[in-house]
Amino acid sequence: VREGGAAEAAGGGGADTVTVRVPAKVNIQLGVGGARPDGYHDLANVFLAVSLYDRVTARPADTLTITCEGPGAAQVPLDGTNLAARAAKLLAERHGIAPDVHLHIAKEIPVAGGMAGGSADGAAALLACDTLWGLGSSRAELLELCARLGSDVPFSLVGGAALGVGRGERLTPLEVGGEFHWVFAVADGGLSTPAVYGEFDRLNEGVRVPAPKASEPLLAALRTGDAPALGAALSNDLQPAALSLRPSLATTLTTGRAAGALAALVSGSGPTTAFLASDAVSAVAIARALLASGTCVATHTATSPAAGATVL
């Protein structure tokens, strides 16, 4: 366990604690438009929450402190830039109280992996602090604060499946007609999301990138729970940029396909890769093959949809 700041939380004396479990996401479609004058890109993002979770525990403390454990914890900032810390501050400011809380993050979501781990912790911290401080914020109020923290944060709160447009933060919930099985291969080291968008812009220089639009066949496959149809419709416009920055990911994708995956793609901005399996048995076989190939450092099997941030 890494401890953030000199002042470790002193409020251990039987005080209440609140733990929130929050899922990772995979973008089953990541449609990216050309760079706008403000530098952002218009997105047509189909988010699916998967059963790979971080847990954020809030307990009273003398000052705001963050600790983190789990794979990749060494890469997680423990200062005010941590999205969980920013969430606690934002909520406290809104209510005119001090953000005196110790937040402990138990990490399973790959760090800087394109699965919105930081965003997940932001949403979880918001819900945990709201509960600990007895603020009783409405869902709409929490969603508004989530959107201010980052464009992927609102989805971490709601989970399930959703279409995000604009910068990805305006969400419409989507119906999911069945369970899907996934394997995620964790790459060695992370990829910076801004760097991947920069590479996208470089690769598309001089190209008129059409406005992104949600794929109808993809939404239909989601609605009916049809895994082969979903596999055929998966798409990620950031994949060429992620592969350009990390060419070795192509081998990981090929390995998973050869091991029986219905489809393989880079998750979000990468470098985590996602493999859709036909069932749980196939998922285990794909995970084994990926690990044995040495093209990734860890694998996770997971199912979707998963519920959003939940108080345990």
Question: Which one, 88 or 259, has the nearer CB to ligand ATP?
Answer: 88
| Angle (nearest 5°) at CA 169 between 168 and 172 | 90
Report the DSSP beta bridge partners of residue 173: 162
Is 152 a known active-site residue?
A: yes
Query: If binding is defined by CB under 6 A, does position 52 make contact with ligand ATP?
Result: no
Is the preceding omega at residue 305 within 30 degrees of 0, hence cis? yes
Please report how close the Cβ of residue 23 comes to ligand ATP at its closest, in angstroms.
12
Looking at the Cβ atoms of 59 and 86, the one nearer to ligand ATP is: 86
Binding piece for ligand ATP, criterion CB under 6 A, among 12-20, 82-90, 247-255, 281-289: 82-90
Q: Does 193 bind ligand ATP (CB under 6 A)?
A: yes
Give the pairing type, strands 180-186 and 170-173: unpaired
Q: In the 8-state DSSP scheme, what is residue 212?
A: P
**Distance from CA of residue 154 to its chain's centroid?**
11
Cβ at position 32, least distance to ligand ATP in Å: 13
57 is a contact residue toward ligand ATP (CB under 6 A): no
Q: What is the helix (H) or strand (E) element at residue 144, kind and residue range?
A: helix 139-149
Q: Is 214 annotated as a binding residue?
A: no
Find the part of the chain contacting ligand ATP (CB under 6 A) among 30-38, 79-87, 197-205, 254-262.
79-87
Residue at shortest CB range from ligand ATP: 118
Per CB under 6 A, the list member of 4, 23, 31, 114 interacting with ligand ATP is: 114
What is the H or E stretch that residue 50 is in? strand 41-60
Q: Which residues pair with 307 in a beta bridge?
A: 159
Catalytic residue among 121, 130, 152, 237: 152
Place of tokens 């990620």: 236
- Judged by beta carbon, residue 165 or residue 220, the one nearer ligand ATP is 165
Q: Residues binding ligand ATP: what is the number (CB under 6 A)?
A: 23
In angstroms, the CA 165 to CA 152 distance is: 11
Can you tell me the distance from the alpha carbon of 44 to that of 249, in angstroms, rounded to the nearest whole number?
Answer: 24
Cα–Cα dist 224/209, whole Å: 31
Using CB under 6 A as the binding rule, whether residue 23 contacts ligand ATP is answered as: no
Out of 31, 160, 231, 268, point to the residue binding ligand ATP (CB under 6 A).
268
Is 25 assigned a catalytic role?
yes
Beta-sheet pairing, 273-277 with 263-266: antiparallel
Binding ligand ATP (rule: CB under 6 A), the pick from 20, 52, 64, 115 is 115
Closest distance to ligand ATP from the beta carbon of 115 (Å)? 5
Yes or no: say if 161 and 222 are a contact pair by the CB < 8 Å rule: yes
Question: How many Cβ atoms from other residues are within 10 Å of residue 81's Cβ?
Answer: 10
C-beta of 190: minimal distance to ligand ATP in Å? 6
Say whether 174 sits in a helix, a strand or coil. coil
Q: Which residues carry a binding-site annotation for ATP?
A: 110-120
Binding interface with ligand ATP (CB under 6 A): 75-77, 81-84, 105, 111-119, 121, 152, 190, 193, 268-269
Known binding site: residues? 110-120
Active site residues: 25, 152
